[in-house]
Amino acid sequence: MNPPRPAQSMSALVLSGGQSRRMQAGDKGLMKLAGKPMIQYLLDSLSQHINQILISTNSSDPEYASFGYPLVSDILPGSLGPLAGIHAGLHTCNTQFLLITPCDCPFLTTTLSERLAQAIEENNALIAVAHDGERMQNTFALINIALTDNLSLYLQRGGRKLNTWFKEQNAIEVNCSDHLADFTNINTLADLQDAERILATS
């Protein structure tokens, strides 16, 4: 039997729970953008082509449950950062591959996941990570669940950096420099205002 193709065996994990400290607006994923929670734009985009969507959060805010997607909390103890959320997502998803994205990228398109899936298939890789032409965008990646135990060991020995773990696993970097809008995230009030202007004209 042939192994499942990445594009047909993909779940998504939205990394949320980060704080918008520069805007003092609390949880980034729940921050309002043009009247909707930031994470809602991403969920709407992902739901067009991915059946299983998980939300990685350690937040007790009931608004996350209201989106109707399973919430995934860290399995390993301690505040271990986004890798702990990814580890929990790999444990939870019911497909061979897990797409990870941050919660504050409202202009994400299906192109990114399609390219990551194609790169994994063509290179027989376990991880594909997006590159914007200047640097690796390490929170936009597609990961084979075969690496679940490997990531657990990495975290247990003190590893915390996504880039380091990706390099250890010979992750394929995928050029997405022609889709820079996919990586637009909201860190400042100016970013928020720019995003609202784009949405108003789209």
Q: Which of 135, 134, 103, 124 is nearest to 171 (CA)?
A: 124
| Contact (CB, 8 A) for 53 and 69 | yes
Q: Alpha-carbon distance 146 to 39, whole Å? A: 28
**More confidently predicted of 1 and 127:** 127
Q: Provide the 3-class DSSP secondary structure of residue 64.
A: helix
Q: Which of 32, 11, 28, 12 is nearest to 20 (CA)?
A: 28
| Contact (CB, 8 A) for 128 and 172 | yes
Which of 106-110, 161-165, 186-190 is predicted with the least confidence, judged by mean pLDDT? 186-190
Q: Residue 18 above 70 pLDDT?
A: no
pLDDT attached to residue 12:
98
Span 67-89, average pLDDT = 93
Buried b (16+ CB within 10 A) or exposed e, 12-35: bbbbbbbebeebebebbbbbebee
Residue type, 179: H
The 10s digit of each residue's pLDDT in 4-13 is 777 679 999 9
| Contact (CB, 8 A) for 39 and 103 | yes
Span 110-126, average pLDDT = 96
Q: Residue 112 above 60 pLDDT?
A: yes
pLDDT attached to residue 189:
84
Span 54-78, average pLDDT = 93
**DSSP state for residue 27 in the 8-state scheme:** B
Q: Residue 25 above 70 pLDDT?
A: no
pLDDT attached to residue 77:
86
| Domains of the chain as residue ranges with CATH | 9-201 (3.90.550.10)
Return the number of other C-beta atoms located less than 10 Å from residue 159's C-beta: 16
Q: Residue 51 above 80 pLDDT?
A: yes
Q: Which of 148, 147, 136 is nearest to 174 (CA)?
A: 136
pTM: 0.93
